[in-house]
Structures are given as C-alpha cells and as structure tokens.
Amino acid sequence: RPSAVRMPVVMTVAKPGTRSSSQWQAIHADIEAHLKKAIPVNPPPVVLEPMHHLTFAAPRSTAPALCVAACELVGGSRDQAMPAAAALHIIRAAAVAHENLPLTDRPAIRPPVAHPFGPNVELMTGDGMVPFGFELLAGSGDPAGGNSGRVLRAIVEITRAVGSQGMVHGQYREVEYLLSRVQGSRDDQEWAADHVWAKKEGDLHACAAACGAILGGGTEEEIEGLRRYGFYVGMVRGMTAHGGGGREDRWSNAVVEDMKKLARKALAGFDAGKVEAVASILDCGIES
Amino acid sequence: RPSAVRMPVVMTVAKPGTRSSSQWQAIHADIEAHLKKAIPVNPPPVVLEPMHHLTFAAPRSTAPALCVAACELVGGSRDQAMPAAAALHIIRAAAVAHENLPLTDRPAIRPPVAHPFGPNVELMTGDGMVPFGFELLAGSGDPAGGNSGRVLRAIVEITRAVGSQGMVHGQYREVEYLLSRVQGSRDDQEWAADHVWAKKEGDLHACAAACGAILGGGTEEEIEGLRRYGFYVGMVRGMTAHGGGGREDRWSNAVVEDMKKLARKALAGFDAGKVEAVASILDCGIES
C-alpha cells in the first residue's frame, strides 16, 4: 500500500506588491486540507485508499487555486469557493488517472507513472472520483442560504470544461498529437499543441476562474473577465509545462509572453490595487 | 461507423388495472427522445458518435423509467423528472461501457460485447458521458422557478448512487464475485451476489425513485417510501436478470417473491388507486 504522496512544490521569489508564492502555497494547502477532510480513509478501503492516492498523486494544477483567488477578487470568501476548488482538483485528478491507464490500443506515449493499484482499480477509482467531486460541490448548496442557483451554475461550468467538448476532447487530441509528433508539418504540430492546451488547460482554468467569480457573487462582467483571464493563464501553464508544439524556444517564449499580456488585459476592469493578487499566478513557479 | 443501436424490448401482457407494459414503453420512449435531442450528432464527431452509440448500446435499465413514474406518483409532471431520468440513463451507460473495457489485468469474465470504437475512445467517451449527465440535470435547475434546491438534492443522490460507495463498489464486487465463482462456499456466493445487486441495481433504483419523488415535490415520507420501494425493485431486477448467486432456482424464486412483497409493502402509505401504476414495474418484462 502506498503512503500518502506529497505534491511536488517549486518555490519562487515573489515580486514586490504581488501575492507571494507562499500565499499561493497557502491557498493550495487550504484546498488540500479540505480534500483530506472530505475523503475519509474508512471502509471500504478497496475503494478509498486508491481514491486517496490518485487524488494527491496527480501533478498539482493551478486551476483550483485560481478558483479561490477569483472568488476573493470579486469580494467573496475563501469558503465560498472551496467546494468548487476541491471538485476541480478531484475531477482533474481522475482524468489524469485515466490518461495514464494502460490500454490495449494506446501505445505508451506519455512518460510512465507508478501504478500501485493496477488498471482495474484505477479505472473504477477514477469513475468514483468524478461523482464524488460533483457531490462535494452540489452538497455545498444551501437552499436556505440562497446560493443554490450559483452552485448549479458552477456545476454546469465544470461539467462542460471536463466533458466531451472540454478536457476529454483535449485528451483525445493529445493522443493524436503525441502519436503524430514525428510526422506532420510544423504548423500542424503547433496548431495541434495549442488546441490540446486550450482544451486541457485553457478551458479548465477559464472554468475555474469563472466558477470562483460566480460563487463569490461577481457581476456578469467580472465573471466573463475572469473567464478570459483564466483561459490565458491555462494556455501559459500548458505551453510552459509542455512546450510549444515544436516551436523554437525563442518563438515559444514570445507566444507565452503574448498570452501573459492578454491575460493582464482581461483584468483591466478590476480594481488595480486588488488585481495583482490574482495576476501573480502568471509568474509563480508552482508546478502546473 | 455503427448506425444507431436500438435497445432491445421484451413485451409482456399487462395485468388488468395496472400500468400496462406499453405505458412503461411510452415512458422509455420519452426518455429516449429526450436523450436524442440532448446529444447532438454535431462536431466533433470523434467524440459525439461514440457517445451516441454507447448511450443507446447499454442494456436498458428500468431505473430512469422508475424515476419518471415516482415523480408522477407524488403529483409531479413527467417533465420535472426527465432530466434526472436522462442523467441516470447516461451515467449508467457510461458505467456499462467502462465495465466492458478490456484491461490488461481484468480477465474476460463478462460476456463479450461489440467494441466498434476501441478501448481508448470508449474510455474517454465514458469519461465525457458522466459530466454530460450531470450537466443535463444541473442545467434544468431554474433559480426563478424555485427548483434549484430540489435539483441539487437530486444531484447529490445520483453522485452517491453511482460513486465509490454505490455503483463503482458494486462493479468492484462483481469482478471479485465472477473471478471467485468456482471457489468459495455457497453462502459466500449468495452473499456476494446479493451485495453486487444491492449496489449495482438496488441502490440505483432506490436513488432513481427518490430523485423522482424529490423533483416531483413529494414529502419526506413519500421520498423515503419510494426509496425503499426502488431498492427492492432493483434487487428483483438484478436477481431476475443475473441469477441468485448459485442458489437453486426454486430458492432463488422464493427470494425474488419475498423482495416483491417488501417492495409492495414500501408503497403502503400511497393512494391505493395510484400505486399500481408504479407497482406494475415489478411484473413488467422490460429488460433490466
């Protein structure tokens, strides 16, 4: 039985006036604590042990932390975003588990990961994690507290971002892209890679930021601004972590800098004094 | 590319005074029409064609129809239950797809099914179907119409019934049961089989009936009565379709008759004139 797996953390020095890397770490720690409380390690251990493992084994995403930060930017409290952040973390971790499942028709195109539980259990554990994520979020709706409508809207946002037109589509394109990397023109490769990160990281971060704004009571303008911001954050994350689809590094860096500019532009409507707390995620070295 | 797959239908003669088999067929047809409208066959076809196929290829379950009938029994309209019925259908179909996925460590213990799309696409299609099911249900919440609280409650019900303590647990037990069928005492086998049907069919039908009652505005007593009823319906369905865990047929039939009695008893609190419309599902020959 594997012991608890710690997520790797890369610390960077914070720029003056921004939310420091340690503040982002604090958000991550809050989300992790929320998840650990939510996932009991009780019977049946055949189900809950692998769930615990797979939930924390996945490389950390910045999307859940962005959800919390977006909620705080529009004046909401951290608690209001926490169930959505936890749901995003769990559902994405399930997708990562299924990505790494060895299948008879899927060549080993991704770097190998440890499989302490075997494919049958990993498949079913992932299948259990997705409804659990939605349960955490749906269960946070309080009809008496009047947030039911917001929670339902966040659920719809997440279903779209992780479903067949979002994350799953990105995963499918990624397999195609990885299989064809050696062939194909460079333009094709660049476009294919951008498409993968748009679906797997752009849409996910856009959804996370929008959900935070929805749950924190943001205006429609704030929600859409943060959605655009999240999309560019996700693209920056995807391209930085996974490369620019065969582009030369110099050119790839230029595209990333461009995305960062677009991201900051999407925050133009917000209070300049508060905006840096969210914008600093662009320069944080936390593993994407 | 496979053409649309029709669900197999077994017609039986209705008893006088009950909801006839053709009325159950009508409910199924309504759910199917709702699903066909909900799942476009638009771009990207790589995702939506397999989704369409897997949604209708799974053997039909009585759970979605029970959800609709339960809603009508408590005075609700068919429309109020339809998104939950569609969600139950889609999410269960995804579970069936994943059950039939060939994995490197899962011996061929289930009867073989056709795999027109290959494991990689079937895995990801199932992964897309689950959020899509929740999207249909969450999207039916109308904050202005005041049903948000009910819809959130139905989502929590479904997440629990299909997650790691429900359907997924049943699937895990089923693999264990099928692998060990040749060994083990008869008591063990009976218990294991009952446990599988309790999780895979009992809990699912209990959830379906409870969701129908919740969405139709039933009282807490009605919701819990229909939940108990649904559980026994599911057990009857599971044992009838899949056998009684090695029990002699005579003994197995006696257990099924007992479950039917318990099911009818759970409906004791309802208007006797209306109850047969729901109770007739116990004697319908629709494939479970």
Q: From B156, which residue of chain A is nearest by alpha-carbon distance?
A: A135
Report if residue B190 sits inside a domain.
yes
Lowest average pLDDT, out of A2-16, A185-199, B78-92, B133-147, goes to A2-16
What is the ipTM, given to two decimal places? 0.85
Report if residue A1 sits inside a domain.
no
Tell me which residue range forms the domain holding A117: 21-104+111-283
* 8 Å CB contact of B165 and A102: no
Report if residue A257 sits inside a domain.
yes
Query: What pLDDT is stored for residue B43 in this prediction?
Result: 59
Report if residue A13 sits inside a domain.
no
On the 0-12 / 13-18 / 19+ scale of CB atoms within 10 A, B244 is: buried
Report if residue A149 sits inside a domain.
yes
Report if residue A15 sits inside a domain.
no
* Residue A120 with chain B: CB contacts under 8 Å: 103, 105-106, 175
* Residue A103 with chain B: CB contacts under 8 Å: 101-103, 119-120, 123
Lowest average pLDDT, out of A20-29, A187-196, B82-91, B221-230, goes to A187-196
What would the two tokens of residue A165 be? 């037109």
Q: From B136, which residue of chain A is nearest by alpha-carbon distance?
A: A156
* Residue B143 with chain A: CB contacts under 8 Å: 148-149, 152
Domain count, chain A: 1
CATH classification at residue B57: 1.10.600.10
Report if residue A41 sits inside a domain.
yes
For residue B187, give how far its alpha carbon lies from the nearest alpha carbon of chain A (Å).
21
Query: Which residues in B24-47 are b (16+ Cβ under 10 Å) and which e?
Result: beebbebbbebbeebbeeeeeebb
Mind listing the pLDDT tens digit of every residue in chain B (288 residues)?
333 333 333 334 444 445 677 788 888 899 989 988 888 766 566 667 899 899 998 888 999 999 999 999 999 999 999 999 999 999 999 999 999 998 888 777 778 888 888 899 999 999 999 999 999 999 998 878 789 999 999 999 999 999 988 999 888 888 887 777 656 667 777 777 888 889 999 999 999 999 999 999 999 999 999 999 999 999 999 888 776 666 777 777 888 999 999 999 999 999 988 898 899 888 875 443
* 8 Å CB contact of A119 and B138: no
Report if residue B9 sits inside a domain.
no
For residue A272, give how far its alpha carbon lies from the nearest alpha carbon of chain B (Å).
33
What DSSP assignment string belongs to chain B? -PPPPPPP----PPPTTS--HHHHHHHHHHHHHHHHHHS---S-HHHHHHHHHHHHHSPPPSHHHHHHHHHHHTT--HHHHHHHHHHHHHHHHHHHHHHT--BTTS-S-SPP---SS-HHHHHHHHHHHHHHHHHHHHHT--GGGT-HHHHHHHHHHHHHHHSTTTHHHHHHHHHHHHHTTTSS-HHHHHHHHHHHHIIIIIHHHHHHHHHHHHHTT--HHHHHHHHHHHHHHHHHHHHHHH-STT--HHHHHHHHHHHHHHHHHHTTTS-HHHHHHHHGGGG-----
The distance from CA B19 to its chain's CA centroid, rounded to whole angstroms, is: 19
Q: Indicate the residue of B105, B141, B152 with minimum beta-carbon distance to A120.
A: B105
Q: What number of residues does chain A have?
A: 288
